[in-house]
Amino acid sequence: MKKGLFRLTAVFWLLSIGLAYAQTGLTGNKNTWRIMSYNIRNAIGMDNVVDYRRIADVINRNNPDIVALQEVDSATTRSNLDVLKELAERTLMHRIYAPAINFGGGKYGVGMLSKEEPLNYKYIPLPGREEQRVLLIVEFQHFVMACTHLSLTEEDRLASLSVFRQEAENMSKLFIIAGDLNDKPESPVIKELEKDFVIFSDMKKPTFPSDKPTETIDYLALYAKKSHAFSKISSQVVNEPVASDHRPIYSDIRLKATADVIFYNRPYLQNPVNNGITIMWQTTVPAYSWVEYGMDTLNLKKAHTLVDGQVICNDLHNKIRIDGLVTGQKYYYRVCSKEITVYEAYRKDFGETAVSPFYSFTLPSSETKDFTAVIFNDLHKQEATLNALYKQVENVPYDFVVFNGDCIDDPATEQEALTHLKMQCEKVDAQNVPVFYLRGNHEIRNAYSIGLRELFDYVGNKTYGAFDWGDTRIVMLDCGEDKPDATPVYYGLNDFAQLRLDQVRFLEKELQGSDFKQASRRVLLNHIPLYGNVDDYRPCSELWGRLLEKAPFDINISAHTHRFAHLPKGTAGNNFPVVIGGSQRMETSTVMVLQKKRNGMALKVLNTKGEVLLDLKL
C-alpha cells in the first residue's frame, strides 16, 4: 500500500486558488470541470473484443477533465500491458493507479486520468469479502477526487461509507467520489451515502448493462459539508453500448469562487458628463454586479444596468452608468459582484458576493473654475516608464487623467489588454478620478483592437467627442491610422477616411456650438499631430485644417512622434500652441500637467527625472 503526504490545509487552499486567479486573470468558465466515471471492464466490450483504443475514443469524445476508471489491469497475463498507461497515452492525460489485488502476475484495481497534473495521491484498502477493494484519493489544485469500485457484499459496501466519510472530513478542499458502487439508488447503501454526500450524477438513468441498461450503479458524489461551494451544470449517461459492460457517466460542475478572488481589478471611472458617470470593472467569474452609491456611506442607492427591462449580468465585464447626479457634490460608492454559476431559463445558482471598499468622485459643476489634468502618451505598455513618470506627479492633486493614444498598443488578446488597463488605471487611482482613453494608431492594430471598445465608455459612444470640465471645453479627435487605408498590411479592413470625414461634420457643429463658444478655455487633444508632423501622409491636417485655422483653442496636446516638441502659436500654421509628448523610452518619455486656476491656464511637461522640459503659461 502506498500513501502520499497531503498538503491539505485551508491556508494552502486559499493561497492556491488565489494564485491561480492572479496568474490567469479572467477565468470565465475555467473553473468549470467535467467529471467522468467509467467502469471499463479492462476494455472487454460487450462483443468480447478487447479494444483499448475504443475505450480511449469514448473518453476523448466526451472530453472530461478527470475520469475515474474501474476494473483496470496492470501488467497481468490477461492484458500483457499497463492498461492505464495505454489509455493515458491515447488520451494525453496524466495517470494515477491504485492496485486492489494481485492478479495474473500483475495488479488489478482502479485508476484516474486527468488533464491537470495531480499534486499528490494516496490509496487505502476497503473491505471486500470476495476480493480486496481500494479507494484511490487524488489531490488537485481546487479539489480532491476519489475513485473506487465497491464490494459485491452489502455489509462491505456499508462499511466502506465510514471510510469515505472520514477521508472527506479530513480534507480542507472539496471532496468528490466517483465510481461503481454496485448498488441501486433506492438501496440502504445509497440512502446512507446521501446522509453525508450529495449525488450529482443522474440517478434516473441506468448505467448497467451497457447494451440494455436496467440498473443505476455508477455515481458521482460530493461531500455535503462543502456542497455549497459548487453548482451542477449538467449530468449525462453516455450512450455507449459496446465498449464495456458499463456506460460511462459524467457531470459538469462549476466550483464557486471565494469572494476575495471575484474582482479582477478595481473599478475605474469613465465618461463623467451630463450629470452622470460610468463605473467599470471586470470580474474573474460571471457575475451579477451593481453599484451602491450616495452622498455618504450610510444612505446608499443601488444602480445596475438595465436594457429593455433586463439586468445585464452573467458576464465578466461590468459597465454601470449612474445619471442624475448633483455636480460639485462628493459621492461615495462601492461595487458589488455576486457570482453566477448557473444561468438557465428556469434555474439560476449564485455564489459568494464580493464587495469593494468605498471610493469617491466629484463631478465638476458649470461654475468650476479650477482643475488639474495629468496626460500620458505613447506608453506602449511599458510599466516601468509609467511608474517613473507617475512618480513625478503622484503628489499633484489631479481631477482626471488622459491617456493620449498608444498606451495599450497592438492588443493581441483580451487578457493582454486587461493586464495593461488594470496596471495603468490602478496606478493613476482611476477608482477615484475619471480616466479618458484616446485612441492612437497602435490601439487600432492586432486581433483585440476592436475589442477595446468593450473596456471603455467613450464620451458620446464615439472615439472622438467633446466635454466640459467646469468652464473649460475639451475636444478630442481620433486621427485613425498613420498610413492610407489602401496600405497592404490593412487588408482592406480599414476605412478611416470616412471616420475623418465624420469628424469634419463633428468639428463644424462643435465649433459653432454654444458650449464651445461660451467656454472660458478650450483644449484640443489628439494623438497624431496636426502641426509639425513631417510625415507625407497628413489627411487630418488637410481635412480639419481649415476649421482649426481660426479656432480659438488655448492649447493643442498631441503625441505619436516619440519626440517632445513645443510649437508656439504661428510657427507651423497653428493658431494655438502645440505641445507633442515623448516616447515610451525612459530617457525620452514625458508626462504633462494641465492646470487651470480661475482665468489662468498652464501646461507643464516633465521627464522621468522630474526635470521640467516646458512650463507654458497660456
Look up the CATH number of the domain holding residue 113: 3.60.10.10
Q: Write down the pLDDT at residue 227.
A: 79
Query: Which parts of the chain register pLDDT below 70?
Result: 1-29
Among residues 345, 362, 379, the one where a domain terminates is: 362
1 inside domain = no
In terms of domains, do 66 and 120 share one?
A: yes
Tell me what pLDDT residue 26 has.
58
* Cis amide bond preceding 209, omega within 30: yes
Inter-axis angle of helices 414-427 and 383-391, to 10 degrees? Answer: 10
User: Last residue of a domain, which of 299, 333, 362?
Assistant: 362
In-domain check, residue 2: no
**Same-domain pairing of 339 and 247:** no
Domain co-membership, 159 together with 187: yes
Q: Are 394 and 433 in contact (CB under 8 A)?
A: no
Q: If we measure between CA atoms, which residue out of 393, 374, 382, 373 comes closest to residue 589?
A: 382
Q: Are residues 516 and 560 in the same domain?
A: yes
Let me know: does 220 contact 176? Beta carbons within 8 Å. yes
Write out pLDDT tens, residues 233-280.
999 999 999 999 999 999 999 999 999 999 999 999 999 999 999 999
Q: In this predicted structure, what is the pLDDT of residue 105? A: 80
343 shares its domain with 381:
no
Q: How many independent structural domains does the chain possess? A: 3
In this structure, the answer to whether residues 205 and 168 fall within a common structural domain is yes
In the numeric block, which cell numbers belong to residue 283?
A: 470580474
Tell me whether residue 5 is in a domain: no
Give 143's Cβ-side CA count (13 Å radius): 26
Q: What is the pLDDT of residue 24?
A: 40
- What integer pLDDT is reported at residue 2 of this predicted model? 38
pLDDT at residue 407, rounded to an integer? 98
Out of 362, 388, 410, a domain closes at: 362
pLDDT of residue 79: 74
C-alpha 122: how far from its chain's center? 34
Separation between Cα atoms, residue 121 and residue 517, nearest integer Å: 74
Q: Is residue 524 part of a domain?
A: yes
In this prediction, residue 27 carries a pLDDT of: 52
Residues 334 and 406 in one domain: no
Residue 67 Cα distances to 38, 44, 198, 208, 209, angstroms: 7, 18, 19, 18, 20
Same-domain pairing of 264 and 251: no
What is the pLDDT at residue 578?
98
CA atoms within 13 A on the CB side of 355: 5
CATH of the domain at 397: 3.60.21.10
Contact 69, 90 (CB under 8 A): no
Domain of 272?
259-362
Would 145 be classed as within a structural domain? yes
> Both 160 and 293 in a single domain?
no
Residues 84 and 214 in one domain: yes
CB atoms within 10 A of CB 167: 18
343 and 486 housed in the same domain: no
**Would residue 432 count as lying in a domain?**
yes
